[in-house]
């Protein structure tokens, strides 16, 4: 009975985090962009500091009509938002937040599981682009596919270097193996992993598949109301997952002062700081051209990720 209750409590905690943290990131993006770019609008809804802006956005999406194009593949069109969103819920189950089993479900191959499931979320964009019966949407879906092929490789290679360093593919095991010198040693891998993750999430400056100045809004052009809101929620959930995974792999996860009692807080703080970096990059850098995006992946990130694996191998040999 106690085991069943423990499982239920863990699942409830993961579900609450899945529902709350992406909304917090979305609200933070409104505020950070408002300050950095002088956008006054998000500062007024609800009075003090525009606290009700997120509520206003939710009401707006709920009131919009749900439209499905007449020529669309109706089932695939309607399923795409769920395919884009739900993998991030599954991933959160395997990400350790604190020590002493503070995780939804500890998996022996947690890193492999997380990376495999994260790749499924991109299929939502591909499904939306193909099923919309819209040329702009199809172009957005094709750009998503090209971006996935280019940036999945450096993402996996840098994650593999961390697994090599820790000697395990268990996420709690990777955090437990962390030492203070890990971050400088894996710094290049951390930057490559984070950059490749942003590209897979189609976040600026890697938002070519949703380039509004070129293809309206890419794969999501024909979506309205709550279905469109689900794609936005998937984007913010992806930010939470990427930042949490980066914190776990490269920044020591729950490691910090008094980690035994407040380790979960350190994980959340590191995740929050990385989420701020994601928002800051959106505000600060222009969108890349498609050729620049591909060149960055194939001529910069992939060689750097291979160099990181080579360095990890040399260091492991020297240490052993």
Return the pLDDT at 100: 67
Give the three-class secondary structure for 246: helix
How many other CB atoms are found less than 10 A from the CB of residue 282? 18
Across the range 36-57, mean pLDDT stands at: 75
Domain range for 111: 2-319
Predicted confidence band of residue 250 (pLDDT cuts 50, 70, 90): very high
CA gap 29, 31 in Å, rounded: 5
User: CA-CA distances (angstroms) from residue 71 to 81, 85, 128, 155, 227?
Assistant: 18, 24, 13, 37, 18
Asked if residues 53 and 107 have their Cβ atoms less than 8 Å apart, the reply is no
pLDDT, tens digit, for every residue of 77-111? Answer: 888 988 888 888 889 888 988 786 677 677 888 89
pLDDT at 303 over 90: yes
Predicted confidence band of residue 2 (pLDDT cuts 50, 70, 90): low
Cis peptide before 139 (omega within 30 of 0): no
Residue 122: CA count within 13 A, CB half-sphere: 25
- Specify the number of domains making up the chain: 1
Asked if residues 297 and 200 have their Cβ atoms less than 8 Å apart, the reply is no
pTM over 0.85: yes
Of 186, 192, 182, which Cα lies nearest the Cα of 150?
A: 192
Q: Assign 3-state DSSP to the chain and report helix, strand, coil percentages, each to 5.
A: 75, 0, 25
Return the pLDDT at 269: 92
Return the pLDDT at 211: 76
Across the range 220-241, mean pLDDT stands at: 87
pLDDT, tens digit, for every residue of 144-163? Answer: 888 888 888 999 999 999 99
């Amino acid at each position: 009975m106690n085991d069943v209750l423990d499982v239920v409590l863990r699942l409830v905690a993961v579900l609450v985090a899945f529902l709350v943290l992406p909304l917090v990131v979305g609200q933070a993006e409104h505020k950070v962009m408002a300050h950095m770019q002088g956008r006054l609008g998000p500062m007024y809804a609800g009075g003090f500091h525009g606290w009700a802006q997120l509520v206003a956005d939710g009401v707006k999406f709920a009131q919009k009509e749900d439209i499905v194009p007449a020529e669309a593949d109706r089932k695939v069109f309607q399923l795409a938002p769920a395919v884009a969103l739900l993998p991030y819920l599954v991933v959160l189950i395997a990400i350790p937040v604190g020590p002493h089993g503070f995780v939804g479900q500890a998996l022996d191959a947690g890193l492999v599981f997380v990376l495999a499931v994260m790749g499924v979320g991109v299929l939502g964009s591909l499904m939306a682009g193909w099923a919309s019966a819209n040329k702009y949407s199809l172009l957005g879906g094709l750009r998503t596919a090209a971006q996935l092929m280019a940036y999945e490789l450096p993402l996996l290679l840098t994650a593999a270097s961390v697994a090599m360093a820790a000697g395990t593919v268990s996420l709690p095991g990777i955090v437990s193996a962390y030492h203070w010198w890990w971050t400088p040693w894996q710094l290049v891998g951390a930057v490559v992993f984070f950059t490749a993750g942003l590209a897979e999430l189609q976040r600026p400056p890697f938002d070519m598949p949703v380039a509004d100045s070129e293809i309206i809004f890419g794969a999501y052009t024909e979506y309205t109301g709550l279905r469109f809101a689900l794609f936005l929620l998937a984007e913010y959930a992806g930010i939470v997952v990427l930042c949490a995974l980066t914190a776990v792999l490269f920044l020591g996860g729950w490691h910090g002062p008094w980690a035994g009692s407040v380790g979960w807080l350190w994980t959340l703080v590191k995740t929050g700081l990385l989420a701020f970096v994601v928002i800051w990059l959106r505000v600060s850098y222009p969108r890349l051209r498609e050729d620049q995006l591909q060149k960055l992946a194939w001529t910069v990130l992939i060689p750097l990720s291979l160099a990181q694996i080579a360095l990890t191998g040399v260091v492991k040999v020297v240490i052993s």
